[in-house]
Structure 1
Amino acid sequence: MNHRTLFVAIALATSLVGSLAGAQEGAVASLPPSLSALPAVEAPADAALAALTRENALLQEKLKALESCSISSGALAAKNGKRLKEVAADIRAQRQGLTDFEGYVKWMSANIAAYSKYISAGSVAAGFAKVLPIPYAGQASVFTKFVSNAALSLSAASVSINKYLAISQQFVARVDALDLAKESSSREVSELVRFADHDLLKGMVEVQEKLASTSELSASSLSFLESLNHYIGSTDEYWAKTKSLLKNDDKKEKSFLAESTTALRNRAAGFNAKFRLFDETVKKDAPLIKSLVAYDELIHELDPKFAKAK
């Protein structure tokens, strides 16, 4: 080997050693300018690991977000408990009017028999008193049936009111005794939700229907009595045609009819005003109770303890 060849070999070896020694500072810097601009090429395993690391970081962020907005079965039960107390406040207000409804129904039951003689007499007069609002074609038998059905309707209303008074009292007492701070309250809340749906709401709607029927009955009776009272104020023909049915003297009958009409008008107005308040409460609380049921079902799905008890 000549001296020139030996010199070149030594230079190449020196250059290679220098490149290896400087690899930690960056092999790219020793490349020509045109190559140093290219990105570093990762090995396939390194690229996959980096991708998994990034995906794991994203999943961790999503889990933290879900944890921050999630709600536990206990928290849902507490919300249901607070809403039960709102419903109980409405029921307590309802109960104040129920005794008035019961009194009105009893009063109507006592007076419907007294009105019946005017209704029966009115059916006789229907043939000539065309102005009277008699929707029963002037048939005495139908009027008798009306009075009989009215008595049955009022009796059914009284039964429903008394039944609901007992159910609502039980509900209010249990909600008042509910302590949401206790761990065992979740179970009691669930039981109260089911009681509200199965018993309280059913009784409430039944009373609503019976009171609506009572209101319609009152309106029909009042319409007849007012028209009859107006009619006999301008003619004695009604009395002449119906004396055999009324039997008492005209003055007493006219006075009683006028007093009965006024009393029914006043009491019916008070009844209807309170019934509207009751009706509004039912429309407010019925969907609220149904929402409590939906939340309770969700609690049973979330909590294994409730799922077993379901």
Structure 2
Amino acid sequence: MQIRIVIAASILGAGFIASHAMASEAPAASPAAATPAAVVMPQSVDQAATIAALTQENALLQEKLKALQSCSITSTDLAARNSKRLKEITADVRAQRQSMADFESYVKWMSGHVAGYSKYIQAGSVAARFARVLPIPYAGQASLFTKFVSDAAVSLGATSVSINKYLGTSQQFLNRADALDPNKPNYNQEVSDLVRFADQDLLKGMGDVQERLVTTSQLSTSSLSFLESLNHYVGTTDEYWNKTKALLKSDDKAEKSFLAESTAALRNKAQVFNTKLQFFDSTVKKTSPQIKALVAYDDLVRSMEPKLAKAK
């Protein structure tokens, strides 16, 4: 912007000089063509008026140039802006971290929960040899349910790893954001580096957790569907359940109670989990474009101070 201002000033100055020169270099009348004094006076007045008008116009343009100079933005100004936005993002990151503990607790509970009813699936696989149709989702495909339990365990384990990794990344972001100080000599560099960290590490970890949590929510829905169907058939004299409970070799009432309690617990916990997941999703949708905007401003800072890009 400062370059544009200098160019504009040069052009304006040149215009003023050219106009003044044209006015002062008007051809003088020859002695032979001298006119009466009464005719010459208006020419002198017009010339003076022109110079006065040009002088006034130049003064106005000089004022505009000063105004443009006062509006110029430096790399330090942009770094200060990004620093302020980074500190605003920390509020959402801290809110996310509070939810992480609840997500981790739910994932652990789900891992034990899936393992808890795996015995019903195993018994159902044996009973399927005697019953033509299994009265549960994926009827007649007990082997797929066995695979579901195995895949669920792997998925829940990956979710737990993703949560713990994001807790570490987000804490590093918070520490660096809190340490930003405009009085430090390398302030612009620290702001620029943190913007890049937020884009490349924080945002990536945030998205990974979001994806894993959505998968966990889907597992909860599938598990709840299985338990509700199985719980429905426990109270019947269905051939499937009669053969299955014989294989379980446990008290019929206890099994019914366990299934009923497990179904209710999963339904309630899943509702709480999904509510927190919706909040987490909203913070991701809010934070993601904010960080991308910071990167755009940081690109401008680095174009003004190339040494920042080289120092990374």
Specify the TM-score bucket, using the shorter chain as the normaliser.
Answer: 0.7 to 0.9
Aligned counterpart for 1:287 among listed residues 286, 289, 299: 289
Q: In 1, Cα distance between the equivalents of 2:119 and 2:55? A: 93
Alignment correspondent of 2:160 = 158
Q: In 2, Cα distance between the equivalents of 1:292 and 1:86? A: 12
Alignment correspondent of 1:205 = 207
Secondary structure at 1:138's aligned position in 2? coil
Q: In 2, Cα distance between the equivalents of 1:28 and 1:36? A: 9
Alignment correspondent of 1:246 = 248
Instruction: Report the AA paired with residue 160 of structure 2.
Output: S
Alignment correspondent of 1:5 = none
Aligned counterpart for 2:232 among listed residues 204, 226, 230: 230
The TM-score normalised by the length of structure 2 is: 0.77
Alignment correspondent of 1:258 = 260
Tell me the C-alpha RMSD between the 2 structures: 3.1
Q: In 2, Cα distance between the equivalents of 1:177 and 1:87? A: 14
Work out whether residues 232 and 238 of structure 1, in 8 Å CA contact, stay in contact via their aligned partners in 2: no
Work out whether residues 239 and 250 of structure 1, in 8 Å CA contact, stay in contact via their aligned partners in 2: no
**Residue 271 in 1 paired to residue 279 in 2?**
no
**Residue 143 in 1 paired to residue 151 in 2?**
no
Cα shift readout 1:66-95 (whole Å, capped 9, x = no counterpart)? 323321110110110011111111111111
What displacement does 1:275 show?
Answer: 1.1
Aligned pairs for 1:54-203 within 5 A: 60-121=62-123, 127-128=132-133, 132=136, 134=137, 136-203=138-205
Q: In 2, Cα distance between the equivalents of 1:77 and 1:283? A: 24
The TM-score normalised by the length of structure 1 is: 0.77
Q: Size of the alignment, in residue pairs?
A: 275
Q: In 1, Cα distance between the equivalents of 2:204 and 2:100? A: 16
What displacement does 1:238 show?
Answer: 3.9
Cα shift readout 1:17-69 (whole Å, capped 9, x = no counterpart)? xxx9xx9xxx76523xxx98789897xxxx9x999989966764553343233
Q: Which runs of 5+ in 2 are unaligned?
A: 1-30
Q: In 1, Cα distance between the equivalents of 2:280 and 2:215? A: 14
What displacement does 1:119 show?
Answer: 3.8
Q: In 2, Cα distance between the equivalents of 1:244 and 1:233? A: 14
Identical residues among aligned pairs (%): 66
Secondary structure at 2:117's aligned position in 1? helix
Larger radius of gyration: 1
Q: Residues 129 and 73 of structure 1: is their aligned pair in 2 closer, same or farther, counting only changes over 3 Å?
A: same
Alignment correspondent of 1:303 = 305
